[in-house]
Structure 1
Amino acid sequence: MLRVINRVVVGLAGAALVALGLGVLLAGLGLPGFLPVDGPDDVLISDADRERVSSYGWWWPTVIAVLSVVVLLGLWWLAAQLRQRRLGEVVIDTGEPESGTGPRALLRGRALEDVLAAEATGIDGVERASVSLLGRRTAPRAHVGLVLGPRASPAATVVALRSRMLREACESTGLPALPTEVRLRAVKHRPERVT
């Protein structure tokens, strides 16, 4: 849902900027457009209009506050776009864990996510599983989403997840721990008619 909202906002902002640029281009060429400008020498806000609104004491603080909020929201949105949500790779220490200077290998985050999801799907009662790795390359965290079947036991599923999947993941990657957040959902079946 967030991806759809993001695309809609980017599309609307792009359309508004294209329309504004087209209006300025038409005004600069002296052609009739939709901006209240008559020609290339005309201005958007005349000196009389600017002096009239400047006489109000609240005008400039309001303009500065609104523009500051717009800039801060734009910077926040840009930072959210640049932040990588999923972990691209995990550092596996293959040397001496005490020294921390041993050889290291890089494991693709997607590959580890796929293996963990396949392991979780193998647990009794789990119909679907999704895994996302977050955090740092040297200290990843896992978010696991499980869809349980109608006869699955949530407690037994979590115990199996911890004892089997997470233990094997830590042993195979050499990670000291893999903090995990698990979200359980029940599968929704369509009702069937009995005749």
Structure 2
Amino acid sequence: MTPPSVAALARSYRAERVLTGLVGLLALAAGALALVVGQGWLGSFRALRPVLDPIAVERLTAWQTTARVGAVVLGVVLLVLGVLIALRALRPERHPDLALDDEPGRGLVVTSGAIAAAIAADAERVDGVSRARATVVGEVSAPALRLSVWLHEGTRLKQVWRELDESVLRRARESLGVDALPTAVRVELGSGERQRVR
């Protein structure tokens, strides 16, 4: 099982992808079956029959109540499943705040936005970094960090990475009070200044 802090680095859409893949496979299988039957590969008699098979229509007519109850139950199940999937896909991402003092009446909480702004400002002080953006995600007990840095043109990436790892991320771990802080770092290299043609 993936730890929550690692899973928070890149929000997982695995369930949505699996469901979309299954629906796509079912649609593909239905289309392939319709093509096979329509081309007459299962016999010319089947290809000439209407889509609503008269035998199936007769059975549904004979079992109207059962067919209606089954259709209603299937519709309700699909509706509930669709609502659950939509709620899961739209749930907000967690941004943990840091509680420095839990005493009633004297509580002191640092918001995740303030933590992220401090980490970004610390990263911007590294030589070669033009700007930085940080986001703290996950749970209070197991936070994770997303850090995006933009570098000036000609900056040595190896040197910037060493300084980020040894100073910025170390201070972030110490301030959050955790031994490990899973971090996803996105680096944008600066492009040269555009020259105007005269």
Scaled to the shorter chain, the TM-score interval is 0.5 to 0.7
Query: Quick check: 1:86–1:132 contact (8 Å CA) kept in 2?
Result: no
One-letter amino acid of the counterpart of residue 77, structure 1: A
Which 4+ runs in 1 deviate beyond 6 A? 57-63
Of the three residues 133, 157, 178, the one matched with 1:154 is 157
Alignment of 1:132-143 (within 5 A): 132-143=135-146
Q: Are 1:129 and 2:113 matched, yes or no?
A: no
Distance 1:84 1:137, change over 3 A: farther
Offset of residue 84 of structure 1:
3.5
Offset of residue 132 of structure 1:
0.8
RMSD: 3.4
Percent identical pairs in the alignment equals 28
Secondary structure at the aligned position of 2:121 is classed as helix
Query: Quick check: 2:146–2:184 contact (8 Å CA) kept in 1?
Result: yes
Q: Are 1:181 and 2:151 matched, yes or no?
A: no
Structure 2: state its 5+ residue gaps.
Answer: 1-59
Of the three residues 118, 122, 143, the one matched with 2:121 is 118
One-letter amino acid of the counterpart of residue 184, structure 1: V
**Other-structure match for 1:73:** 82
Offset of residue 153 of structure 1:
2.0
Which structure has greater helix proportion? 2
Secondary structure at the aligned position of 2:179 is classed as coil
**Other-structure match for 2:15:** none
Query: Quick check: 2:96–2:143 contact (8 Å CA) kept in 1?
Result: no
| 1-structure distance, mates of 2:81, 2:160 | 44
Structure 1: state its 5+ residue gaps.
Answer: 1-50, 95-103
Alignment of 1:85-104 (within 5 A): 85-92=93-100
**Other-structure match for 1:19:** none
| 2-structure distance, mates of 1:66, 1:89 | 42
Of the three residues 160, 167, 177, the one matched with 1:164 is 167
Deviations 1:152-176 (A, max 9, x none): 2222222111111111122233322
| 2-structure distance, mates of 1:176, 1:183 | 22
* TM-score normalised over the length of structure 2: 0.54
Distance 1:161 1:58, change over 3 A: farther
